[in-house]
Amino acid sequence: MASIQQTPNGPVLVLKESALQEKGRDAQKNNIMAAKMVADIVKSSLGPRGLDKMLVDSLGDVTITNDGATILKEIDAQHPAAKMMIEISKTIDNEVGDGTTSSVIFAGTLLAKAEELLKKDVHSSVIIEGFQAASEKALEILSEISKKVSPDDRETLLQVASTSMESKLISEDSESLSKIVVDSIMNITETNDNKSSVDLDNLKVEKKAGGSIQDTALIKGIVLDKEVVHSGMPKKIQQAKIALLNTAMEVEKTEMSAEIRINDPTQMQMFLEEENRMIKTMVEKVHAIGANVVICQKGIDDMAQHFLSKHGILAVRRVKESDMTKLAKATGARITSNIDDISEKDLGAANLVQQKKVESDKWVFIEGCKNPQSVTLLIRGGSQRVVDEVDRSIHDSLMVVKDVIEKPEIVAGGGAPEAVLASFLKDWSERFEGRQQLAINKFAEALEIIPLTIAENAGMDPIDTMVKLRARQSEGKKWTGINAKEGRVTDMLSQNIVEPVVVKEQIIKSATEAASMILRIDDVIAISGGSGGGMPPGMPPMG
């Protein structure tokens, strides 16, 4: 389709003949439809009684999950508006770690409500303005009603951790797992000038199928999924002095294929001896400065292994770069790339380095490190699939605990805050006139999708439940929400179902942003280039 613009100088061809274009209401309608479809996919997984999704990829690999971000990541969405919705789930996952499903459902509902207004000929810019005003007001109210807590209040942190697991496959183990999660985060929390922060890079997560979820444990130190390189080496060293090398303990092979001509046996002998001498020098150096543990990012050849074991040094090779960095931080060692330069100062310290069996593997545990802020969470579970889902759930849980430590404000869950905001906003909208009031009201209605969906997924009657919820809310019982496990409307704070306020803030911000962005589009032009041009697949044909 070519697009021709009439100008005083005659027609101007703006788009190439091949470019496809979808204009105005059609573009808007299709985008809204695609966004709503994405929201519909995850809707049934919201809340503790939400169902799980089984994702099957083209190779037949199966993932079973309840995690909105994971579901959406795996969906191969083609429509540009659908992709925008998936983007918000990624943003929210990175920013706050939880609330992905809610944000997508809320954004989809905002668009559905907007569509009702568009049909009544309310212009999209009026809708966007109304949504934005409502969103700002909602954030304001949220910070007024949130409960201020202390960032080192372990009880609250435990509740926040276990609430985020309520909606997961692992909810039965949430009590023990939330303890591990909170302990992990508390170990890596740093407080400066009364402000606490958590750097998740200080936490290493390892997973190993086998055993049960209950075997998941926090190890105060670093775990390497590697074994001690030589059978003659000690498997346990106390008061370890650790050398971290990112150079190979091997004789360097020349880059170009060099040819060494050897004419008589004595030369051969000399050549080998020279090689041995070089390796021996390396090992002697490490030994001389007092190292009894060598952790190497590269290889350690047979001869080096032999010399190291003769000195009673425990060595591990081919360790990941990210683990080397963690080890440096944990043990206070400096990573050395040149063995000639290494000195005693470069060595790190740990109380205990030992090889332990984890299922059929042998792993090296470095515990009692100089810096106690380095910990490893070792996730266990009956099968790889279970371990993977535990990993995803623990990620959310770690993030929400971090959220509360960094901004110690919480709200109750079960749709309570969304219901409070909806009723506040409905009252507040009265100050506005006509169409703007309509838009603010629609925003309020859209917020109610969260309690509504939690109730629906719990098999409760959606209309009855919402009537009850609104009535209690109007009596000022602001933490009234849906207790999905018991199927009743109740005070969620007293049920210890609590969430970080930042998650709710992020849900509102991201969803409003995405909905506004989609509403602002009145023209979809498929430009050539990239994947060959033409309309992106998945776009409906235009008539």
Catalytic residue numbers read: 67, 100-101, 396
Given a contact cutoff of 8 angstroms between Cβ atoms, the answer to whether 100 and 43 are in contact is no
Of 97-105, 431-439, 449-457, 489-497, the window that binds Mg ion (rule: CB under 5 A) is 97-105
> Considering CB distances under 5 to 8 angstroms, the limit depending on partner class, which of ligand ADP, Mg ion, none binds residue 221?
none
Interaction site with ligand ADP (CB under 6 A) = 45-48, 50, 68, 98-102, 163, 166-167, 413-415, 450, 454, 482-485, 497, 499
Name the residue nearer to ligand ADP (CB basis): 404 or 484.
484
> Considering CB distances under 5 to 8 angstroms, the limit depending on partner class, which of Mg ion, ligand ADP, none binds residue 68?
ligand ADP
CB of 389 to ligand ADP, least distance (A): 13
Q: In what order do the strands lie in the sheet with 409-412?
A: 147-148, 409-412, 498-500
- Examine residue 389 and tell whether it contacts Mg ion (CB under 5 A): no
> Considering CB distances under 5 to 8 angstroms, the limit depending on partner class, which of Mg ion, ligand ADP, none binds residue 114?
none
Name the residue nearer to ligand ADP (CB basis): 149 or 304.
149
CB of 178 to ligand ADP, least distance (A): 13
SS3 521: coil
Rounding to the nearest 10 degrees, give the CA dihedral for residues 397, 49, 448, 92: 30
> Considering CB distances under 5 to 8 angstroms, the limit depending on partner class, which of Mg ion, ligand ADP, none binds residue 46?
ligand ADP
Residue type, 218: L
> Considering CB distances under 5 to 8 angstroms, the limit depending on partner class, which of ligand ADP, Mg ion, none binds residue 408?
none
Name the residue nearer to ligand ADP (CB basis): 42 or 248.
42
Number of residues that bind Mg ion (CB under 5 A): 1
Question: Residue 221 burial (CB < 10 Å; 0-12/13-18/19+)?
Answer: buried
Of 41-49, 93-101, 176-184, 354-362, the window that binds Mg ion (rule: CB under 5 A) is 93-101
Place of tokens 């949220």: 142
Name the residue nearer to ligand ADP (CB basis): 91 or 373.
91
Strands 53-56 and 62-65: antiparallel
CB of 483 to ligand ADP, least distance (A): 5
Which residues make Cβ contacts (< 8 Å) with residue 231, sequence separation at least 6?
none
d(CA 90, CA 85): 9
Question: Residue 120 burial (CB < 10 Å; 0-12/13-18/19+)?
Answer: exposed
Q: CA-based angle 319:322:324, to the nearest 5? A: 55
Name the residue nearer to ligand ADP (CB basis): 444 or 482.
482
Question: Quick one: three-class SS letters along 200-263?
Answer: HHHEEEEEEEECCHHHCEEECEEEECCCCCCCCCCCEEEEEEEEEECCCECCCCCCCCCCCCCC
CB of 159 to ligand ADP, least distance (A): 11
Name the residue nearer to Mg ion (CB basis): 51 or 272.
51
CB of 471 to Mg ion, least distance (A): 27
Name the residue nearer to ligand ADP (CB basis): 100 or 374.
100
CB of 500 to Mg ion, least distance (A): 11
> Closest residue to Mg ion, Cβ-based?
98
- Examine residue 98 and tell whether it contacts Mg ion (CB under 5 A): yes
d(CA 290, CA 284): 10
> Closest residue to ligand ADP, Cβ-based?
413
β-bridge partners, 482: 489
N-to-C CA span, the chain:
11
Strands 361-369 and 348-358: antiparallel
> Considering CB distances under 5 to 8 angstroms, the limit depending on partner class, which of ligand ADP, Mg ion, none binds residue 497?
ligand ADP
Residues in contact with Mg ion by CB under 5 A are 98
